[in-house]
Structure 1
Amino acid sequence: MRYIHQKFVERYDPTVEDSYMRQVEIDGSAVMLEIIDTAGQEEYRSLTGMYMEKGHGFVIVYSITDIETFHETPKYYEEILKAKDEKEGAKIPIILVGNKIDLEEQRSVTKEEGENQSKKFGDFCKWIETSAKTGENVDSVFEELVRMINTAEGGEEEEAEEPAAEGGSQTKPATASSDPAQPSASETKPATKPKRQKKKCIIL
């Protein structure tokens, strides 16, 4: 919620798979993020798998002040593997996030424990600690996740052809003119390089 609204929400009432859109620029490329909050509640578990199957990247969050939330992280990792039909260590972009570092004096999960847990989730999982309250490292989570998604997909960006004119075809063959004063269509309309679209990433 901090990343979407750019402010701290003291009381957040999660509902079934809230979806948020945000356009950002990362490493010079425009990216449209669709962020789906799966709420993490048992009553919504049956719906979560459908969204996980479509997801490009995943954020698993625990509170550094609540050891039980940390102990639940392997369960979410297993659910991601199941939804993506992958085995442990698969190249799935995942960031394990320890939240509430503004409450350091209440810490019950050490940094070492968090980092070691991410390593158990495979070489393609990263670990970051954040504070939704102060905003520390929140943007970094999503920026790094997009980079991981690009790496997993080979760093390719989507391309689109020039849109067709209304009522016309998308491409027209070049035609020669019998009038020397009239240049051919290929001379008057040079080929246009395909435009790059915004990349879209679905993040859970």
Structure 2
Amino acid sequence: MPLDHNIELSYSVKMLLARIGKLTTTQLNLINLLMFQAVWWLSILYQNSAIAISSGLLLLHFALSSHRQSDLLSMVKVVACGVIIDSLLTYMQLFEFQQMPYWLGLLWCHFAISLRYSLAFTQRLPFYINAILGGVFGCISYLAGARFDAVVLPQEYLASVMILFSVWLVIFPIFVIVSRQR
């Protein structure tokens, strides 16, 4: 009997993989949107305790993607810039973390991937619209993280808002350009 069970399991895995290969762009974008939101909330609420789930979801993305190499290349570029920027902001004492925020690196990975999937619509927007979207939503993301104690913003609130808005006003459109499929 165990042999029959293994054959059934193997068949089920093959069917699942075949089905995954037939996902539409809309389905992939929806899956990406849900994964990014899940990772954002898990990271903000559980920080380094969410690393295993965030890593697993990142691996799931690459299992589903038919553009693994270009996804990886785009992700490396965006993550490198994002981690450098966050490190500089931490060095400049705009951010403080209770512990080393490894979760933030994974959040950057998922954000980078979302630029090519659920946020792909930004590829068609003018630079200035992406700048405004980045300024507003990038800033809001960090403010929400501070509200949930994932990060401390030790500077005066308005100064933090202005700096975050300005940084994201510049970097989001650049990230959109960097993430374009080649």
TM-score past 0.5 threshold: no
Bigger fraction of residues in strand: 1
TM-score relative to the length of structure 1: 0.24
TM-score relative to the length of structure 2: 0.25
Q: Which has the larger Rg?
A: 1
